[in-house]
Amino acid sequence: REAPVPKMVAPCLLRRAVLTVPLFFVLVLLFMEPVRADQEAGTAIPAESRPCVDCHAFEFMQRALQDLKKTAYNLDTRVRT
């Protein structure tokens, strides 16, 4: 026959877990090496040669408009034939 588990064991284990888990995360954060901004993957492109966000949006909208014009032309020629 098994011995009964004392009623105080569960709260004690819960208290220990509540204290241990945050301590573990603090230790992990202390020993992790911080990621620097210059560690980005790929080749860095200087800011002078990169187009601005507005230029990207404008080019995207131009391409989308050209695609819409081509699609409309193709649909128009299908309807006429």
pLDDT tens, N- to C-terminus, the chain (81 residues): 555 556 666 667 777 778 888 888 888 888 887 666 555 556 666 767 766 777 778 888 899 999 999 999 888 888 776
Average pLDDT in the chain = 76
- 3: region left, alpha or beta (phi > 0 left; psi from -120 to 50 alpha): beta
For 39, residues 6+ apart whose C-beta sits below 8 A from its C-beta are: none
76/81 Cα distance (integer angstroms): 9
Q: What is the pLDDT of residue 5?
A: 56
Is the whole-model pTM more than 0.85?
A: no
Q: Give me Rg for the CA atoms of the chain.
A: 32
Residue where the block lists tokens 């945050």: 22
Residue where the block lists tokens 């299908």: 78
